[in-house]
Amino acid sequence: MTTTVSSPASTTVQWTKKDLLGLRELSVDEIKLLLSTAESFREISLRPIKKVPALRGKTVVNLFFEPSTRTRTSFELAAKRVSADLINITASTSSIAKGETIIDTIKNLEALKVDILVIRHAAAGVPHLVAKHAYASVINAGDGSHEHPTQALLDMLTIQEKLGRIEGLRVSIIGDIAHSRVARSNIWGLTKLGASVTVCGPPTLVPACMEQFGVRVTWDVREAIRDADVLMLLRVQHERQETALVPNLREYRLRYGIDRERLKDAKPSVIIMHPGPVNRGVELDSAIADGPHSVILDQVTNGLAVRMAALYLVSGGAKVEEVGG
């Protein structure tokens, strides 16, 4: 029999923001609140009836201007599990294709009285622009190479779940750091919570100027692996400009791919993370992706809880603004 009476939340801060745009603008307490709220939501998906009535009567719009399956599906399930109604709009099937401006699209959606806009866009800053013009809450589901806050939060929740803490841990992020919104949001979040972050990859993808974010830069993957508590691999995004920045995938694998041999230098307790989808045999070998160190599927499970928490908190934050608080 395990019974734990949860102690009163370690932070007394409450969420008063209308939007969740990025981790850069959040305080340490706000990030901790998001994580502890997500922890509470995790249990709901283990119930026979996986649904709570918290956002009954609210409408969430998934507005994806860039293709996405897992993030969109995760937000969709999260909305349904907190009893919100949800519609999906993808750029190719919307009036965007007919030349409507983003602000007009948003104004039209608001005329339909929607409450939360979940936005993904290839250009950095679009969710921020929309948030300024919309009464509805905006959650950034990835904007260009800028931020992807819910991904970083689910990564942090997974680290906390597996290793018990974030503060004092060494986290190495390996891959295309320069173009990665996942890396950027994780760098903001992890350093705020007291982890030391190392970024690693080919110099074309990991500029030395990344040091200004308060991280260590290395181009030697062995150095990134040694002493790391967490290895976070990023997908080689061959659909983006990267093909010009790395000679070929085989060379990337030889220099930066994680396989059994390379992992011999790692701490026995190391956990391997990946935001997915994994290019098996490029950044990560199948034996490692499916191996005992991998927490990739736990990340997916935690993503759902983080998105339920984000929807719950911003819906309350929007009310604060209504009241004029």
Partner 1 sequence: MESRAAASFREKAKLLDADAVRRTLVRIAHEIIERNKGIAGLGFAGICTRGAVLAKRIAAEIQAIEQQPIPVGSLDITLYRDDLSRIAPNPVLQATDISFDITDLRLILVDDVFFTGRTVRAALDALADIGRPKIIQLAVLIDRGHRELPIRADYVGKNIPTSFQERVEVRLSETDGRDEVVIEERVDA
Tell me if 268 contacts partner 1 by CB under 8 A: no
Tell me if 319 contacts partner 1 by CB under 8 A: yes
Tell me if 27 contacts partner 1 by CB under 8 A: no
Size of the site for partner 1 (CB under 8 A): 41
β-strand pairing of 137-143 with 170-174: unpaired
Kindly indicate which of the ranges 30-38, 117-125, 136-144, 215-223 contains the residues binding partner 1, using the contact rule CB under 8 A: 30-38
Tell me if 2 contacts partner 1 by CB under 8 A: yes
Tell me if 317 contacts partner 1 by CB under 8 A: yes
Tell me if 212 contacts partner 1 by CB under 8 A: no
Measured CA to CA, the distance from residue 191 to residue 166 in angstroms comes to 9
DSSP string, 93-151: GSGGGGT--HHHHHHHHHHTT--EEEEEESSTTHHHHHHHH-SSEEEEEEETTTB-HHH
Q: Which of 4, 98, 111, 261 binds partner 1 (CB under 8 A)?
A: 4
Tell me if 49 contacts partner 1 by CB under 8 A: yes
DSSP string, 245-300: HSS-HHHHHHHH-B-HHHHTTS-TT-EEE--S---BTTTB-HHHHTSTTB-HHHHH
Contact code string over 60-99 relative to partner 1, x by CB under 8 A = ----------------------x-----------------
Q: Give the residue from 293, 177, 261, 172 showing the smallest Cα distance to 221.
A: 172
Of the pair 44, 123, the CB lying nearest partner 1 is at 44
Measured CA to CA, the distance from residue 316 to residue 314 in angstroms comes to 5
Kindly indicate which of the ranges 95-103, 119-127, 137-145, 307-315 contains the residues binding partner 1, using the contact rule CB under 8 A: 307-315
Buried b (16+ CB within 10 A) or exposed e, 297-307: ebbbbbbbbbb
**CB-based contact 152:182 (threshold 8 Å):** yes
Give least dist CB 153 to partner 1, A.
Answer: 15
Tell me if 102 contacts partner 1 by CB under 8 A: no
Q: Give the residue from 282, 173, 161, 153 showing the smallest Cα distance to 231.
A: 173
Give least dist CB 312 to partner 1, A.
Answer: 6
Give least dist CB 147 to partner 1, A.
Answer: 22
Tell me if 164 contacts partner 1 by CB under 8 A: no
The footprint of partner 1 (CB under 8 A) covers 1-9, 12, 14-16, 33, 36-37, 39-41, 43-44, 47-49, 51-54, 57, 82, 309, 312-313, 315-317, 319-320, 322-323, 325
